[in-house]
Structure 1
Amino acid sequence: MQHYLLGALRVIVGVSGTMLVVATVSSAIRAFILPRNEVVRLNVWVFVGVRTLFDAAAKLANSYDRRDRIMAHYAPVALVALPVVWEALVSLGYTGIYWALGEGSWYYCYRLSNNSLLTLGSFSTTNMPAAALTYSEATLGLLLLTLLLSYLPTIYQAFSRRETTVTRIELRAGTPASAATLLCWLNNSGSLQDDDAQWEQWEQWFVEIEESHTSLPILTFFRSPQPGRSWVIAAGLLLETANLFFSALDEPRPRQAELTFKAGCVALNRVYRFFSEQAGTEPRALLPEESPVREAERADFDKHCDALVAAGLPVRSDRDAAWVHYQELRNRYVSALDFLATLTMAPKSKPL
């Protein structure tokens, strides 16, 4: 009876080990090779576990600069932790398989598995199936490491392109950055109708954000080289600039500016929906009671309108109507913007 129970236990352990190995390799492939955005639960658990530790450390910091320095290490550490967890799970899965094949005690099978995974070659097996499995484990160990290493250049190229645009936006929007300043810069030629090339570059930036930050979600958490910069704040600034243009100025909307605004709303909302189940499947405009008029925001809006008037731009005479239009457009992206700013611990920034 005990013999049958032991045999059944070996089958269960062997099948479980095989499933664990398959699930781990599948997670690695879906994370880096599958050309579409997909939530990989195993990777999420790794990122959340590492993030919990960094959040605890950041709470002990007494200034934003210190928190920023701490969180700057989060994405690189989480990325390095991925192959460590992958290989640990593969080793655990093969340990169960070797034990199911009768290679020896759990301790011996664990050492055999680690030895095979790291291709040390100092342990031998007792049968042909186990010997074949050691070669497959060694292959998977190299594959998992190579998979991450081969994608590191892709990740850092996407990061570099993103941050180049963030820096250029900051140079044009002034210090502190504001949508009114950026609009005045766009009006340098005396017209806001001849900036299609600039709006097109920003549209391309939003398109790349949408693709790269959902297919490689760890990119979302890579922080800018300078503490005061953030891709989330830069994206919000572009959307606020377009919004201020459309709602406050008495000028025709350039088609390219409208495309850029739409691309920005789509990009932020899709990244938002990737990270938050509460976001729903499609972005939803806030109801009037969910988006109350805040006096501070209205004061900022009026201040920026005054700055546009001082710059000689044709501001709409009906400020109340302009404010209502501004709020309607802002509802298309404000939920995503606020969520991502909190998620990435972005620098504090006013809405305009």
Structure 2
Amino acid sequence: MEFLSGIAGALVLALVLSSVLRTLVVPRGLYSVLVFRLWWLLRRALRLTTAPRGGYDAIDRKQTWLAPLMLIGMLVCWLVGALVGYGLLLHALSPLSWTTAFREAGSSLFTLGFASGARLKLSVLDFMAAATGPILIALQIAYLPTLYAAYNRRELEVTLLLARAGEPAWGPEILARQWLVDTETALPQLYRAWERLASDMGESHSTYPVLLTFRSPRPYRSWLVGLVAVMDAAALQLALAPRSAPPEARLVLRAGFTALRDIARALRIPFDADPSPQAPVRLSFAEFDAAAAMLETAGFRSERSPKEAWPHFRGWRVNYEAIAYELCRRCDAVPALWTGPRDFPGAPIPPLRPMDRRPPAGRPELPPAEG
């Protein structure tokens, strides 16, 4: 029995150490079972506290607590795991009873010092337990500035996108607003900023997946919806007006779907790494045609008809649509147009004016989004 207890204790400590290193130390998007199981559990627990017919606003209020609960939950799981591991080892290597072994493990792990013994052969194990608690807490504290620095960089660009893309963001809205106010020459700068941000998010969100649970300060903003909107705007411009589209449009698309694929690998989301340009997408031609008509009303000069441009737009979108839809679903992102279905009821929300929360006047009606 003592032998089995020792093996079990060593295994638990190895799992805790592996999870800590994967989550906090190793600078690579390594899969951590603890992080994603905890995310799955807490997300569903918060969903259960929402009214059965609660829409997006109710979901967003509850999911705001997901990130802090994740941070606290990870630390608690690691400390409890270390307590169990050291308790099993102390029971295996000494004549202590189960209760006394776990009491001494807790005393050492949390440096309380209320339990002690004169067993010289266990002093190394006691010192290891005493060092583990402070190290775990120190690593978690050092982890927070990194998370919030990445979060602030992300949210700054998302906030700046508000005037260009509406709230929630939508790709055709970006192009329409630029042509309505004659600021289309600012699009290359926007694409360059989001190319850099996409690369930043691909690195930070795959290395620290807990960032996916951090929501924007405002319910109708989302880094993921914003990235999809900028990529859709670039794809629309390349499809409808390829000769006048800036080269930055291709660069932001490449950076965008590369970032989404890096995050998908960290989350073990399957995807086609080399999709065919002729592969189908869930966005319908009717939605694309309505968006092209809206752009024409705004003054956008198309070089191709919607029917001619559709295969080109689909060839771009097939690279990122499936991953973007799955991430939007898992993150319970605001259900903006062209971002796929969610796990809660509600129709897609079109861009609203940030000041009065009413749809802009004079816009052609769009058909209901299918995804």
State the TM-score, normalized to the length of structure 2.
Answer: 0.84
Establish whether residue 100 from structure 1 lines up as the match of residue 92 from structure 2.
Answer: yes
- 1:124-143 matched pairs, under 5 angstroms: 124-143=116-135
1:299 matched residue in structure 2: 286
Match of 1:278 among 270, 275, 292: 270
Establish whether residue 332 from structure 1 lines up as the match of residue 298 from structure 2.
Answer: no
Tell which structure's C-alpha radius of gyration is larger: 1
- 1:60-79 matched pairs, under 5 angstroms: 60=52, 62-79=54-71
1:220 matched residue in structure 2: 212
Give 5+ residue unaligned stretches, structure 1: 1-8
Q: Aligned pair in 2 of structure 1 residues 50, 286: CA closer, same or farther (>3 Å)?
A: farther
Distance 1:136 1:259 in 2: 50
2:2 matched residue in structure 1: 10
Structure 1 window deviating more from structure 2 (227-236 vs 312-321): it is 312-321
Structure 1 contact 236–337 (Cα < 8 Å) conserved: yes
Distance 2:265 2:21 in 1: 22
Distance 1:52 1:308 in 2: 40
Structure 2 contact 179–299 (Cα < 8 Å) conserved: no
- 1:1-352 matched pairs, under 5 angstroms: 9-58=1-50, 60=52, 62-175=54-167, 177-186=169-178, 195-279=187-271, 282=273, 284-285=275-276, 288=279, 290-291=280-281, 294=284, 298-351=285-338
Structure 1 contact 193–254 (Cα < 8 Å) conserved: no
Structure 2 contact 172–291 (Cα < 8 Å) conserved: yes
Structure 1 contact 117–141 (Cα < 8 Å) conserved: yes
Measured against aligned partners, the alpha-carbon deviations of 1:136-179 in whole angstroms (never above 9, x if no partner) come to 11111111111111110110111111111111112211356433
Structure 1 contact 103–125 (Cα < 8 Å) conserved: no
Q: Aligned pair in 2 of structure 1 residues 41, 180: CA closer, same or farther (>3 Å)?
A: closer
Structure 1 window deviating more from structure 2 (78-87 vs 310-319): it is 310-319
1:5 matched residue in structure 2: none
Distance 1:129 1:259 in 2: 62
2:290 counterpart letter in structure 1: K
Structure 2 contact 161–226 (Cα < 8 Å) conserved: yes
Structure 2 contact 191–230 (Cα < 8 Å) conserved: no
Structure 1 window deviating more from structure 2 (182-191 vs 340-349): it is 182-191
Post-superposition shift, 1:49? 2.6
1:6 matched residue in structure 2: none
Distance 2:180 2:254 in 1: 24
4+ aligned runs moved over 6 Å, structure 1: none
Q: Aligned pair in 2 of structure 1 residues 128, 254: CA closer, same or farther (>3 Å)?
A: same
Count of aligned pairs:
339
Provide the secondary structure at the position in 2 that maps to 1:123: coil
Provide the secondary structure at the position in 1 that maps to 2:218: coil
Distance 1:322 1:243 in 2: 10
Post-superposition shift, 1:189? 9.1
Provide the secondary structure at the position in 1 that maps to 2:123: helix
Q: Aligned pair in 2 of structure 1 residues 120, 293: CA closer, same or farther (>3 Å)?
A: closer
Structure 1 contact 249–313 (Cα < 8 Å) conserved: no
1:137 counterpart letter in structure 2: A
Measured against aligned partners, the alpha-carbon deviations of 1:210-269 in whole angstroms (never above 9, x if no partner) come to 011110001011111111111111111001100110011253442222111110111122
Distance 1:284 1:174 in 2: 31
Structure 1 contact 213–271 (Cα < 8 Å) conserved: yes
Q: Aligned pair in 2 of structure 1 residues 176, 28: CA closer, same or farther (>3 Å)?
A: closer
1:171 counterpart letter in structure 2: A
Post-superposition shift, 1:22? 2.5
Post-superposition shift, 1:317? 4.1
Identify, as 1 or 2, the structure richer in helix. 1
1:4 matched residue in structure 2: none
Distance 1:69 1:208 in 2: 27
Post-superposition shift, 1:196? 3.4
Q: Aligned pair in 2 of structure 1 residues 283, 345: CA closer, same or farther (>3 Å)?
A: farther
